[in-house]
């Protein structure tokens, strides 16, 4: 996976058509997600033993959601789906949050991917709200 991501980085340094650049950025992001998934599978024994350590830090929620949206749009294009993808972030939601960004990124990507895969027609919406 590191080699694939590395070669994509090399290609991205070239002058590319904007559509091709966007496709390669999606491939790169997908490669990072797959690499993280592989690492998570390898960490399964830590989870079962109760020894998984979360990497908690301040992350941008908007950035995580935007990344998930890019991945979902790539999936929609690849699947030639006519679904409408909508993302809404309530104005009361803080952008900077203290969380394990990698885990939240995986959750968002899995939710959107599954929603797209299992929705035949209509719309997929990610609605982020502050719950007190």
Largest separation between any pair of C-alpha atoms in the chain: 48
pTM of the model: 0.67
Collect all residues with Cβ–Cβ distance below 8 Å to 132 and sequence separation of at least 6: none
Secondary element (H or E) of residue 103: helix 101-118
Please write down the long-range contacts of 34-41, taking CB distance under 8 Å and 24 or more positions apart: 34/1, 35/1, 35/2, 35/5, 36/102, 36/105, 36/106, 37/106, 38/1, 40/106
pLDDT tens track, the chain, 132 positions: 778 888 888 888 999 999 998 888 888 888 877 877 787 777 777 788 888 788 899 999 999 999 889 888 877 776 667 888 999 999 999 999 999 998 898 889 888 888 888 888 889 999 999 888
- β-partners of residue 89 are 128
Structural contact between residues 35 and 105, judged by C-beta atoms closer than 8 angstroms: no
Dist. CA 56–CA 35, nearest whole Å: 19
């Amino acid at each position: 996976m590191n080699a694939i991501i590395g070669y994509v980085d090399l290609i991205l340094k070239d002058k590319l058509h904007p559509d091709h650049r966007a496709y390669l950025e999606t491939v790169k992001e997908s490669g990072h997600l797959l690499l993280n998934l592989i690492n998570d599978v390898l960490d399964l024994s830590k989870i079962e033993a109760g020894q998984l350590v979360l990497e908690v830090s301040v992350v941008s929620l908007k950035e995580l959601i935007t990344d998930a949206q890019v991945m979902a749009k790539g999936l929609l294009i690849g699947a030639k789906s006519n679904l409408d993808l909508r993302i809404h972030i309530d104005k009361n939601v803080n952008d900077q949050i203290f969380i394990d960004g990698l885990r939240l990124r995986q959750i968002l990507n899995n939710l959107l991917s599954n929603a797209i895969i299992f929705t035949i027609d209509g719309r997929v919406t990610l609605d982020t709200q502050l719950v007190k």
